[in-house]
Every structure is written in C-alpha cells, then in structure tokens.
Amino acid sequence: MKVIYRITYPNGKIYIGQDLTDSINYFGSAAHALIAADFTREQRRDFTTAADVSRREVEFIKAFRSNDPAVGYNRWPKFKAD
C-alpha cells in the first residue's frame, strides 16, 4: 500500500510525506495484526508505482504550500513565491 499523508502540527504548520512501507499501521501504535485482520490483501492491493506516489506528493506539497516556511515544514521542492 502506498500513501501520501498530511500532518498538521499544533502550531498550524503542515508536513506532507509518503509511505511506501506497506504497513497498514504506519501512522499509529495499534497492533498491526488487529488492523490487518480487518482488510483482505485484495482490499490493500495498490498498483501505483513509487514514482507515481513521488509525483503526487510533490503536487500536494505545492497545492498546500507546505514548502513555504510560513506554512509548513517541507523543504523540497524549493518554495517559489508567486
């Protein structure tokens, strides 16, 4: 499973990243087996490539402006003010 995620910190700044680990529990501390038992392998299957995920991650970073130091913590791609 490949995902792009957004974290919003208490100060309101955001970070956008990606997970290519295939862990259904990447964002939490619940028991992996308990979560995985609720989903079939077919439900978790994803044919998206890592390159597609990276491309979409950059699109989200730009869309949410999380690479703007005033808005978020992403430092790549380099922020360009409009």
pLDDT of residue 69: 95
pLDDT tens per residue across span 1-29? 788 889 998 888 999 999 888 776 766 66
Q: Helical H runs in the chain?
A: 32-36, 41-44, 50-64
Tens of pLDDT, residues 32-79: 777 678 777 777 666 578 888 899 999 999 999 999 999 999 999 999
Does 80 have pLDDT greater than 70? yes
3 versus 30: which is more confidently predicted? Answer: 3
Domain positions in the chain are: 3-64
Q: Output the pLDDT for position 19.
A: 87
Q: Copy the structure tokens of residue 79.
A: 């922020």
